[in-house]
Structure 1
Amino acid sequence: MPPEQHRTPVRSERRTQEQRRTATRAALLAAAAELVVEAGVRAVTLARVGERAGYSRGIATHHFGSKQALLDALAKSSQSGFVAGVGDLPPGLDRLVFLIEGYIRELGRDGVAGRAFLLLWAEAATATELSAGFRERDAAFRADLREDVAAGIANGEIPGDTDPQSVAVAVLGQLRGIGMQRLLDPDAVDTQHLSSAVAGQWRRALSAGTSRTG
């Protein structure tokens, strides 16, 4: 049999192994998110995550190595693509408003991963093993917000005396704060209404004065 006929099954097997690995990792992260929401960060152990996902007690250690690495991966995965479509828009005021509205709307879905992220974020204020990773994620979020404000200033949508860093800090604080309130008292936070109301407030605040000075 020619050598090339032996190679196709090997490639298929490798793809299957990678798919199994990806599925296992996703199941472990989902199990970790459920445990964080149900019992808190301190109740999460690698063994419990493996059992909750339906695998052996040692599978989470094999995939992540440590609890900190697992929680870092959970935080990253739970916020990846949180607001669908934002990456398709060019930087500027429209993208910023789209992000604000979409973020608050997603908070209203009460997804386990999103709730787990907020609990991890709150825990990071006192848990040193989490703080560095969340500082980096918040810094990256603020950088994206600053980029939108700076682009809005450059194209005349936002007044030139606006401080992008101040806006970034305020927007991030507001979004996280709404999320925490939603966790504590869901009935008091109408995300459907807030999503458009808060987005509209930021659009008006950031575009104020451009018609007179532009």
Structure 2
Amino acid sequence: MSRVRRTQQQRRESAEAALVAAAAELVIESGVRSLTLARVGERAGYSRGIVTHHFGSKQGLIDALARALQEGFVPGLADKPPGLDRLLALIDGYLGALAHSSAAGHAFLLLWSEAVTTTELGPTFRERDSAFRDDIAKDVAAGIAEGTIRDTVRPEAVAVAIVGQLRGIGMQRLLDKDAVDIERLRPEVTEQWRRALSAEGQ
């Protein structure tokens, strides 16, 4: 029985996914300071040279890791038009992802917290947080334009508040999983934002 040969692009994508997964595992185990290209390659079953070939440097690997961990964290948003419904789905979906305690979510929050004191992480996570806030602000602006969100709120301020709350809940769960029941918290947080932003009854 003949085996189907994978294309070069498929092999590249498979190798990069394995290397990123290995990097996430090492971050969870030992933190970003102990992350080296050699350790990532060894964990994934490749050489250090392969890691360098794909990412160029440790900084390139960290950038790729941060993006991979955040992309698709809340599935299904791409199908929703910007506005209040999409924003509430983002909040609910983000908390749902935290509740499942995935390795990706765990690694992202660890990296995010280390970005405050680790020079090599700062630029990457400032960019990721800026993109997250911009995405939320666009939903708020679209909701104002369509009349579902009050026109007295400032999109940028709402974005800062939502990111702060979601990241804060995630960090609390990381520190003490048993103290933060996200499944019970999830509908309350989503409803709080619906009431705070909704144009109904204003």
TM-score surpassing 0.5? yes
Partner of 1:122: 113
Aligned counterpart for 1:154 among listed residues 133, 137, 145: 145
Partner of 1:171: 162
Q: Deviations over 1:63-112 (max 9, x none)?
A: 11111110110000011111111111111111110000000010111111
Alpha-carbon RMSD across the aligned residues, in angstroms, is 1.4
Shift of 1:57: 3.3
Query: Number of residue pairs matched?
Result: 199
The 2-side partners of 1:96 and 1:103 are apart by 11
Q: Deviations over 1:145-185 (max 9, x none)?
A: 11111111111111111111110000000111111111111
SS class of match (2:120): helix
1:193 to 2:184 alignment = yes
Partner of 1:44: 35
Shift of 1:212: 3.7
1:211 to 2:162 alignment = no
The 2-side partners of 1:77 and 1:71 are apart by 10
For structure 2, which runs of at least 5 residues remain unmatched after alignment? none
The 2-side partners of 1:57 and 1:139 are apart by 32
SS class of match (1:68): helix
For structure 1, which runs of at least 5 residues remain unmatched after alignment? 1-11
The 2-side partners of 1:212 and 1:48 are apart by 57
Aligned counterpart for 1:89 among listed residues 71, 80, 96: 80
Aligned counterpart for 2:18 among listed residues 27, 30, 52: 27
The 2-side partners of 1:94 and 1:134 are apart by 27
Q: Alpha carbons of 1:162 and 1:34: their partners in 2 closer, same or farther (altered >3 Å)?
A: same
The 1-side partners of 2:10 and 2:160 are apart by 39
TM-score by length of 1: 0.89
Q: In the alignment, residue 92 of structure 2 is paired with which amino acid?
A: E
Partner of 2:57: 66
Partner of 1:4: none
Partner of 2:93: 102
